[in-house]
Structure 1
Amino acid sequence: MEQGASESRSLGSRVARHILRLFFYLIITALALFIGGLAIFYQHIATIAPPDNPKADAIVVLTGGYQRIDQAVQLLRKGAGERLLISGVNPATTGNHIRVLTRSSDDLFACCVDIGHDAMDTTGNATETARWIRGRGYKSIILVTNNYHMPRSLAELERTDHGTRFIPYPVPTDVSPSELVRNPLLIRTIAAEYVKFLLVVSRDWTGFSV
């Protein structure tokens, strides 16, 4: 009887070790996949570049810095699109405030710029943009946002609006290795964007919202 109990304990111990070993391998595999995917994501945002002389029905810029808005207004001035939506503007910020900061004319903002105050995040940007596109019947859009934010923004917009062609126009943020060493917070920003991007592309089965 003691021998049977001993064999049972031995079997249980072997099963436990096997489960722990399997769990360890799964963790290592998941970590390797994450790091590999992050490296590909980093390479993409480090090399993505705006197209030369882009042309579309209209332009959309997602707020998050006036460098983005400046670039979008410049595209509008050059005739890259007939109209500009600035999505996700703080309700306390007026169109006139943005016009002054971008040194734009009253005529340009009066005729061709729409200010969106509803969006609170990238998901909201996509909803606000899709509604604006449907209301005006556009078929092609130049999307302006930072390079590290572009993959998630495109994923959100393409998921929300299947009928529109989005042309990415990334505003460069220095993500070179030397800059990552100098500014470690940038590593956290890129990693966070990668995680959010994964959640966006897998949202239908994860149920997460970012």
Structure 2
Amino acid sequence: MTLLKTKKIILTTFMSFLFLFIVFVITLFILGPDYLKAKSSPEKSDAIILLSGGEERLEQAVKLYNDERANKIILTNSTEHWTKVETVSERGIAKQDLIEEPEATSTFENATLSKEIMKEHKFKSAIVVTSDYHARRTKMTFDRVYDSDIQLSYSFADSFFNPNDGLTERETKTVFTEYVKMIAYWPRLLFV
């Protein structure tokens, strides 16, 4: 390969990455942090799918269970503290109403592995519980992974994320991370 061809390849690669970065920044600017949130609309269901990640999610699932929105809770990544059977049962949930899923390490795996459990138990509907800042990616992923014969609704727990009063350093990192992950998920979800 000649030096000129090598320079063209390097320049083209650099310009492509620069273009993608600019598109990403413009997307962040246009959509903003509020786009990450979505409206909760929990419907009475066969199960609650509790995504691991924090106490606020657990509290939301317990509230839905106590309000009799569902009588079973699927604990995704049930090795994490807030989705362990012991932790959840300490909140007054009967152990026989808890279904463990210990292997998920991502939102995509939460969706695919909980779908297997839903089919195994012949559940036809579920409320997916996660944090408010994680709402858009969760909804995008679960809606794509799940079949139309399983009805999903969503309940998003309030968290530290409140972009209306200006972004803290933690919120800024969260916005950036969520957008990067959403963009990274799109190609993967095309082939589900």
The TM tier, using the shorter chain, reads 0.7 to 0.9
1:95 aligns with 2:81: no
- Picking from 138, 149, 169, the partner of 2:155 is 169
1:192 aligns with 2:182: no
Deviation at 1:72, TM superposition (A): 0.4
Q: Is the 8 A contact 2:75 2:101 kept in 1?
A: yes
Counterpart residue identity of residue 202, structure 1: P
Q: Which residue of 1 aligns with 2:35?
A: 44
Counterpart residue identity of residue 115, structure 1: E
Deviation at 1:156, TM superposition (A): 2.6
How far apart in 2 are the matches of 1:197 and 1:35? 14
Aligned positions of 1:73-92 closer than 5 A: 73-90=62-79
How far apart in 2 are the matches of 1:169 and 1:116? 19
Worse-matched range after superposition: 120-129 or 189-198: 120-129
Worse-matched range after superposition: 110-119 or 128-137: 110-119
How far apart in 2 are the matches of 1:121 and 1:30? 24
Q: Which residue of 2 aligns with 1:6?
A: none
How far apart in 2 are the matches of 1:33 and 1:49? 26
Change (3 A) 1:55 1:41: farther
Which is helix-richer, 1 or 2? 1
Q: Is the 8 A contact 2:73 2:99 kept in 1?
A: yes
**Structure 1, unpaired ranges of 5+:** 1-11
Identity of aligned residues (%): 21
How far apart in 2 are the matches of 1:44 and 1:204? 19
- Picking from 178, 189, 192, the partner of 2:165 is 178
Worse-matched range after superposition: 165-174 or 56-65: 165-174
How far apart in 1 are the matches of 2:154 and 2:117? 18
Q: Is the 8 A contact 1:84 1:113 kept in 2?
A: yes
Q: Which residue of 2 aligns with 1:118?
A: 103
How far apart in 2 are the matches of 1:69 and 1:138? 21
Deviation at 1:155, TM superposition (A): 2.7
Instruction: Output the TM-score relative to the length of structure 1.
Output: 0.71
| Larger Rg belongs to | 1
Deviation at 1:76, TM superposition (A): 0.9
Residue-by-residue CA offset, 1:131-172 (whole Å, 9 max, x unaligned): 111112222211100122122222332333223222121112
Counterpart residue identity of residue 61, structure 2: A
Deviation at 1:85, TM superposition (A): 0.8
Instruction: Output the TM-score relative to the length of structure 2.
Output: 0.77
Higher relative contact order (CA 8 A, sep 6+): 2
Q: Which residue of 1 aligns with 2:23?
A: 33
